[in-house]
Amino acid sequence: AGEDGVEAGQRAGVAVAVRRRDLGRRFAVAAGIGTLLVTLIALGIGYRQSQRILARVEAVSRTCKEIVGGNLAGRLPVAGDDDEFDTLAVEVNSLLARLARTTEILRTSLHSAAHDLRSPMHRMRLRMEQALGAEPPAGPERDTLELLLRDVDQMQRVLTALLQIAEAQRRQ
């Protein structure tokens, strides 16, 4: 009977060892499946985030191209996520707003200055033509007046070109 007890104990020990081995295999399989699932989920989240970031970078790039193309009213998109992209977009948009205001002030000043200079230049031209027409001076005085008339004509052409540029930019 003692041998039967030892034999039964050995069988029980073998059964426990087999169960432990089986439990170890099951644990290894479960751990492998869990690791695989966690890896797949992490890859999915990483891919989704990279696509989201890429879309934001493309939107910023597209807007920058429009701005470089002359659309100073363009602004970088702010997604409302309160992240680094939004912080950068807010700062760049503030800079673009200041740039647009400065550009508009320059356009207005240029347009105003060109208009303000046209009248005095026109009067100068008329006075020189009168000086040449009534009793025209002779010699160097006449040559000087003719040179001055050409200079005034050149300045009027420049002013006209500046006014055309200002007007064209205002229409954009």
pLDDT tens digits, one per residue of 5-59: 667 666 666 667 777 788 888 899 999 999 999 999 999 999 999 999 999 999 9
Q: Are 120 and 96 in contact (CB under 8 A)?
A: no
Q: What is the mean pLDDT of the chain?
A: 85
The span from the CA of 151 to the CA of 129, in Å, is 13
Using DSSP, state whether 72 is helix, strand or coil.
coil
Q: What pLDDT score was predicted for residue 8?
A: 65
Task: Give the residue-averaged pLDDT of 70-92.
Answer: 88
Query: Mapping DSSP to helix (H, G, I), strand (E, B) and coil, where does residue 47 land?
Result: helix
- What is this structure's pTM? 0.57
**Token pair 């031209």: residue:** 125
Q: Which residue has 């060109």 as its token pair?
A: 114
Residue 69: per-residue pLDDT: 84
| Nearest-angstrom CA–CA distance, 53 and 51 | 5
Averaged pLDDT, 113-123? 86
Q: pLDDT confidence of 135, banded at 50, 70, 90?
A: confident
Give the Cα separation of 111 and 136 in Å (integer). Answer: 36
Q: Is the pLDDT of residue 2 over 60?
A: no
